[in-house]
């Protein structure tokens, strides 16, 4: 049997070529594109403005979603939902929906597994499996877009902070961002999508040179090389001096504020000394620090910082003139941190 073409992997030009090979006129590409990214069609049968013959033809030679939901968990407060998707090769990825007052934020994955090996991260603990395709990244968003549409709501924000390192899968991730921000497609504002990296220096510089409007967040988590080497192995390749030079380059090239993520681990990186080192490291840079009490994982013995330690850490940053906020921890009761649901399902006998 001939393998069917996944339409979410095609950009508009490729979709037009695909339809032309099927003997269809050029204007059909725009129609199909709108059904995919504006109407969130879950099947070809739903594309009712297309001739029945074309819908049948597409059903025979193409496929829409290749990410199949296999498990779902909702937090007790009803504000966080995590879905585990199975890909065609059996790999598992996670996506999280977080509801705030007026925002509907998705945390999406860019890889199955991760090669970065951050010690406190469930995804880092599982190792790298493979990159996701453009279509597999986009499909996560469209799944929840359909769900939200039934509630009279829509996706307002996306953070590429789920499984994987987005800048390690640079071309596919940024192609997905382009797809999601296409004014003739999904049409989400570029500044509503944030990419998070642990510090791939060449990719940060490339990102800066491309002058993209999507914000950048750097998972810093330590302000000295000795501490960061323990938590984030990639720091041994690109230590803090190189990383911070790239961050300053990004701010200079784009004029945009950079965000630093800091998972506060009790007795590890929540000390006054680390807060002071961080203050010295980023003082004078156009930046903001997100302080996040650790989301515990089975593979790491660290605990989240106490409220008192968080307050003291933030006070030190204020002394250095560094703006910061403490992120609300969401979905703790369903282990909403990236990779945790997948790890549990695999441990219970699921696929990888």
297: domain CATH number? 3.20.20.70
d(CA 349, CA 342): 11
Q: Is residue 82 situated within a structural domain?
A: yes
Q: Is the pLDDT of residue 101 over 70?
A: yes
Over residues 241-257, the mean pLDDT reads 97
Query: Which of 163, 152, 139 is closest to 104 using CA atoms?
Result: 152
Domain boundary among 63, 78, 109: 63
Confidence at residue 324, expressed as pLDDT on a 0 to 100 scale: 97
Instruction: Check whether residue 248 and residue 331 sit in a common domain.
Output: yes
Whether 185 contacts 226, CB under 8 Å: no
The CATH number of the domain holding residue 15 is 1.10.150.530
Reported as a single tens digit per residue, the pLDDT across 17-31 is 999 999 999 999 999
116 and 260: one domain? Answer: yes
Residue 85, in any domain of the structure:
yes
* Mean pLDDT confidence for 226-238: 97
Same domain for 298 and 224, yes or no, is yes
**Which residues does residue 130 pair with via DSSP β-bridges, in sequence order?**
112
Sign of CA dihedral 198, 167, 132, 60: positive
Phi first, then psi, for residue 62 (nearest 5°) are -135, 170
pLDDT digits 0-9 by tens, 52-94: 999 999 999 999 987 999 999 998 888 999 999 999 999 999 9
Query: C-alpha 257: how far from its chain's center?
Result: 19
Q: Which of 118, 121, 287, 338 is catalytic?
A: 338
Whether 160 is covered by a domain: the verdict is yes
Closest CA to 62 of 37, 39, 45, 87: 45
Looking at residue 330, what is its pLDDT? 55
Q: Is residue 19 part of a domain?
A: yes
25 and 111 both lie in a single domain = no
pLDDT of residue 349: 54
Q: Domain limits at 34?
A: 5-63
- Tell whether 224 and 207 lie within a shared domain: yes
Q: Is residue 90 part of a domain?
A: yes
Average of per-residue pLDDT across 203-224: 97
Residues with Cβ within 8 Å of 100's Cβ and at least 6 positions away in sequence, in order, are 79
Across all residues in the chain, what is the average pLDDT? 93
Residue 331: pLDDT over 60: no
Give the distance between the most distant pair of CA atoms in the chain: 68
Residues 22 and 108 in one domain: no
User: Do both 41 and 75 map to the same domain?
Assistant: no
pLDDT at 336: 46
Q: In angstroms, rounded to a whole number, what is the distance separating the alpha carbons of residues 124 and 121? A: 5
Identify the band that residue 297 occupies on the pLDDT scale cut at 50, 70 and 90.
Answer: confident
Contact 129, 112 (CB under 8 A): yes
Choosing from 24, 73, 94, 316, the catalytic residue is 94
Q: Are residues 38 and 96 in the same domain?
A: no
pLDDT at 334 > cutoff 70: no
Please provide the DSSP assignment of 214-268 as one string: S-EEEE---SSHHHHHHH-GGGGTS-HHHHHHHHHHHHHHH---EEEEEEEBTTT
Q: Which residue has the higher pLDDT, 151 or 342?
A: 151
Same domain, 47 and 120: no
Q: Do 45 and 153 reside in the same domain of the chain?
A: no
Q: Distance (Å, rounded) from C-alpha 343 to C-alpha 352? A: 9
- 43 and 84 co-located in one domain: no
Domain end among 39, 63, 87: 63
Q: How far is CA 85 from the centre of its chain?
A: 15
CA distances from 39 to 145, 179, 187, 208, 250 (A): 9, 15, 12, 33, 36
In a domain, 154, yes or no: yes
Catalytic site includes residue 94: yes
CB atoms within 10 A of CB 347: 9
pLDDT at position 296 is 83
Mark whether 127 and 197 lie in a shared domain.
yes
How many domains is the chain partitioned into structurally?
Answer: 2
On whether residue 352 sits in a domain, the answer given is no
Q: Is 24 a catalytic residue?
A: no
* End residue of a domain, out of 14, 37, 63: 63
For residue 316, being part of any structural domain is answered with: yes
């Amino acid at each position: 049997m001939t393998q069917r073409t996944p339409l979410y992997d095609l950009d508009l030009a490729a979709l037009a070529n695909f339809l032309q090979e099927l003997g269809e006129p050029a204007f059909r590409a725009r129609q199909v594109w709108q059904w995919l990214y504006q109407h969130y069609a879950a099947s070809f049968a739903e594309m009712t403005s297309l001739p029945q013959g074309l819908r049948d033809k597409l059903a025979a030679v193409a496929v829409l979603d290749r990410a199949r939901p296999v498990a779902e968990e909702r937090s007790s407060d009803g504000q966080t939902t995590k879905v585990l998707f199975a890909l065609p090769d059996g790999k598992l990825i996670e996506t999280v929906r977080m509801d705030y007052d007026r925002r509907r934020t998705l945390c999406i994955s860019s890889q199955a597994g991760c090669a970065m090996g951050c010690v406190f991260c469930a995804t880092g603990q599982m190792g790298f499996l493979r990159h996701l395709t453009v279509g597999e990244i986009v499909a996560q968003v469209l799944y929840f877009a359909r769900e939200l549409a039934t509630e009279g709501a829509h996706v307002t924000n996306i953070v590429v902070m789920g499984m994987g390192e987005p800048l390690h899968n640079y071309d596919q991730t940024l192609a997905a961002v382009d797809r999601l921000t296409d004014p003739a497609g999904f049409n989400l504002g570029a500044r509503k999508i944030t990419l998070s990296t642990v510090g791939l220096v060449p990719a940060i510089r490339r990102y800066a040179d491309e002058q993209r409007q999507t914000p950048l967040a750097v998972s810093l988590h330590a302000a000295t090389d000795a501490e960061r080497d323990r938590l984030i192995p990639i720091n041994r390749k690109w230590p803090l001096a190189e990383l911070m030079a790239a961050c300053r380059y990004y701010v200079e090239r784009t004029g945009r504020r950079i965000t630093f993520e800091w998972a506060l681990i009790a007795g590890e990186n929540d000390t006054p000394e680390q807060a002071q080192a961080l203050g010295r490291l980023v003082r004078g840079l156009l930046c903001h620090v997100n302080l996040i009490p650790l989301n515990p994982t089975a593979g790491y013995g660290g605990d989240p910082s106490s409220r008192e330690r968080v307050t003291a850490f933030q006070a030190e940053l204020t002394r250095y003139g560094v703006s910061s906020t403490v992120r609300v921890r969401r979905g703790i009761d369903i282990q909403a941190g990236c990779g945790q649901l997948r790890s549990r399902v695999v441990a219970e006998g699921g696929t990888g």
